[in-house]
Amino acid sequence: RAAEWQLDQPAWSGRLRITAKGSTAFIKLEDKTSGELFAQAPVEQFPGIAVEGVTDSSRYFVIRIEDGNGRRAFIGVGFVDRGDAFDFNVALQDHFKWVRQQSELAQQAQDLEQGPKLDLGFKEGQTIKLNIANMKKKEGGTGSTRPRPAGPGGLSLLPPPPGGKSSSGERAAPLSTPAQLPGTPITDSLLSWPQPTAAPAADVWGDFAKASG
């Protein structure tokens, strides 16, 4: 009980810090001016015998201090402000919560290493089928038409329309005279439309007719 202590005349007053090394937390009592260490209490488990709360107050605790040579002593410590006592509790709880999490992660990793390992390799004769979309080449498509053969000079030659009619329905007039572009001399031999040959004379086959008679 904290009421049995001499709270109005404490044996020592100073600063309390909590540090950690590995899984062990250390409660350090230090001089508030120089920072000189007065005593420290290693805590390996919380709640545990190293730190215990009193029954009649939430601001006072009993801690077990050690000097490093095997000597131990139990002393009572208290905080003037209740918020500082709350932070003292939370700091110790957070540290040992982290210790438990690290231990669980290490145990899970060890279980995975000791457990059966999955064999993801291909067995002899085993195959795998991959279905990749848009990889088949279309055959017989309309977009693979052959280009028209080009005439002399790289121009395409189209056959004349049947009946001598143009695409607009008008009849094409015969070219009696050669066409000529403005400023370009064109001779009759270049653009002259071929004229029909004269009909053969009636007596071309005369000799053969006389021979047969």
Q: Could you report the per-residue pLDDT of 161-184, keeping only the tens digit for each? A: 665 555 445 555 555 555 555 555
Average pLDDT over residues 94-112: 87
- Look at residue 74 and tell me whether its pLDDT is greater than 70: yes
Residue-wise pLDDT tens digits, 181-194: 555 554 544 555 55
Q: Which domains does the chain have, with CATH numbers?
A: 2-114 (2.30.29.30)
pTM above 0.75, yes or no: no
SS3 63: strand
- Whether omega for the bond prior to residue 160 falls within 30 degrees of 0, making it cis, is no
Ranges 80-84, 130-134, 175-179, 201-205: which has the least confidence: 175-179
Q: How far apart are CA 93 and CA 130, in angstroms?
A: 54
Residue-wise pLDDT tens digits, 12-24: 999 999 999 999 9
Confidence of residue 129 (pLDDT cuts 50, 70, 90): confident
Ranges 70-84, 102-116, 193-207: which has the least confidence: 193-207
- Short-list 159, 140, 141, 139, CA closest to 149: 159
Average pLDDT over residues 89-105: 92
Q: How far apart are CA 155 and CA 151, in angstroms?
A: 5
Residue 72 has a pLDDT of 93
Locate all alpha helices (DSSP H) within 27-161, ordered by sequence: 82-114
- Look at residue 108 and tell me whether its pLDDT is greater than 80: yes
Average pLDDT over the chain reads 75
Structure tokens at 212: 């047969």
Structure tokens at 158: 């189209």
